[in-house]
Structure 1
Amino acid sequence: MEVRTDYILNEETVLLTGEYNMNGKLYARVIQGEDTFLVDMKPLNIINETMIGLGSNFKTGRKSARRLLGNVSMCPIKVNCHLGIWLFPTKSYNDDFCIWFSLMHVKNTKALGIRRTEVELSYGHKVVIQMKESSFNQKRKKAEELREKMTKNSKGSLTFFVESKKGIKLIEGEGVKRYTLK
């Protein structure tokens, strides 16, 4: 089994979750495209490191999501709007076995009894989770709602800057009147 030292989420990331090795160390199990592998990082660290590389972080992303959706527990998060990476958790993000699903890769769900759901994903993957189908789909809907709101908020009109032909000269000085305009 391949073990990577680091990982950045991308548009082929289907899901990530925690998995312990034989020595009890927590790794991230990643399904990317048709492959699966372990990463020597916690799932939350992968999300945070990816977001830091994009100028944000997990804490800020979570705060933004809660501001837009209300005080939602286990709220979804935007990782990268341009690549369409929106994640939503199955459990508390502090739970080592929380599965973070990429919204774009969730295709369908099927109830398997009272508290089990089969989630059909891109690339032919299927994951069976211990959660009611309705609960899973509510989490999915919240992620879709977050995506809609953030996408709408980012579609403002373009503002063009027209440079003036005449500039201002600002001269720093001392005393009460610190600056002189010419």
Structure 2
Amino acid sequence: MKKLKNYIIGHKSEMIVPEFNEIGKLCAKIIEGNNIYLVEQSPKAIIEKSLLCYGSDFQGSVKSSKSILGNVCMPPIAICPALDLYWFPSASPYRNDCVWISLAHFQDVKKVNDQKSKVIFKNGFSLCLDISVQSILSRRSLALLLRYEMEQHLKSQMSVLYKSRNGFTLIKQPEELKYVIRISEN
């Protein structure tokens, strides 16, 4: 296992698992394909740093998710929609035992018992969590809905951008706070 000081989530990142290091500091174990990294940052710090690198922040991402999904508890977040980086938490992000799961790498979930489940990833790795199957499936469904709604919004905006072949120019009127629109045709 390779040790890192910091980490930015990318398309190969699959899960972020909290782990205390040998001196009791909350760190994160990252699964990325066949690689496992121990990062000297908490899972939430990795999420926050990754969001900042992709142009957002944690509070803004949560606010955006809640705007789209309604006032849901523990919403999924879009770290970078362009790279299909949608993640959901296993518990409150403020708890030390919160595991973050990549929607793109999630394959299935199996019941271990009433309050324990086994999450299976596309690469064959699995992770046992102290959370019911129904809770995992519910959080995954919210992440799927978030991705769908964001993709639909993007598609609707792109169709508007490409419909018009005409341009326009805004011309400021002298000595006034007024702009006139002049339409130009190609």
Please give the range of the TM-score, normalised by the shorter of the 2 chains.
0.7 to 0.9
What SS is found at the alignment partner of 1:152? helix
Task: Give 1:178 deviation, angstroms.
Answer: 7.0
Query: 1:96 maps to what in 2?
Result: 96
Q: For the Cα contact (< 8 Å) 1:17–1:96, is it kept in 2? A: no
Q: What is the identity, as a one-letter code, of the residue corresponding to 1:125? A: F
- List aligned pairs for 1:24-173, cutoff 5 A: 24-155=24-155, 156=157, 157-159=159-161, 162=167, 168=171
Q: Could you report, residue by residue, the CA deviation over 1:47-105 in whole angstroms, capped at 9, with x for unpaired residues?
A: 11111112111110000001111111111000111111100001000011100000011
Number of residues of Structure 1 aligned to a counterpart in Structure 2? 174
| SS of match in other structure, 1:135 | helix
User: What does residue 4 of structure 2 align with?
Assistant: 4
How many Å separate the matches in 2 of 1:179 and 1:102?
Answer: 49
Question: 1:108–1:119: 8 Å Cα contact kept in structure 2?
Answer: yes
Structure number with higher helix proportion: 2
Q: Root-mean-square deviation (CA), in Å?
A: 2.0
The aligned counterpart of 2:183 is none
Segments ≥4 residues shifted beyond 4 Å: 167-171, 177-181
* TM-score normalised per structure 1: 0.87
State, as a whole percentage, how many aligned pairs show the same letter.
Answer: 29
Cα distance change of structure 1 residues 149 and 178 upon mapping to structure 2, 3 Å threshold: closer
The structure whose residues are more often strand, as a share, is 2
Corresponding letter in the other structure for 1:57: D
Query: What residue ranges of structure 1 are gaps of 5+ in the alignment?
Result: 172-176
**Cα distance in 2, alignment partners of residues 70 and 179 from structure 1:** 39
Partner Cα distance (1:91, 1:152) in 2? 28
* Displacement of 1:122: 2.0
Structure 2 residue identity aligned to 1:28: A
The CA distance in 2 between the partners of 1:168 and 1:68, in whole Å, is 37
In the TM superposition, residue 162 of structure 1 has moved relative to its aligned partner by 2.4
How many Å separate the matches in 2 of 1:125 and 1:163?
54
Question: Structure 2: how far apart are the matches of 1:63 and 1:101?
Answer: 19
- Offset, 1:141: 0.5
Structure 1 Cα separation of the partners of residues 97 and 91 of structure 2:
8
Unaligned stretches of 5+ residues in structure 2: 180-186
| Mapped partners of 2:26, 2:104: distance in 1 | 26
* 8 Å CA contact 1:62, 1:77 repeated in 2: yes
**Amino acid of the residue matched to residue 136 of structure 1?**
I
Q: Secondary structure at the match of 1:117?
A: strand
Does residue 18 of the first structure (1) align with residue 18 of the second (2)?
yes
> Secondary structure of the residue that 1:45 maps to in structure 2?
helix
Tell me the CA shift for residue 46 of structure 1: 1.2
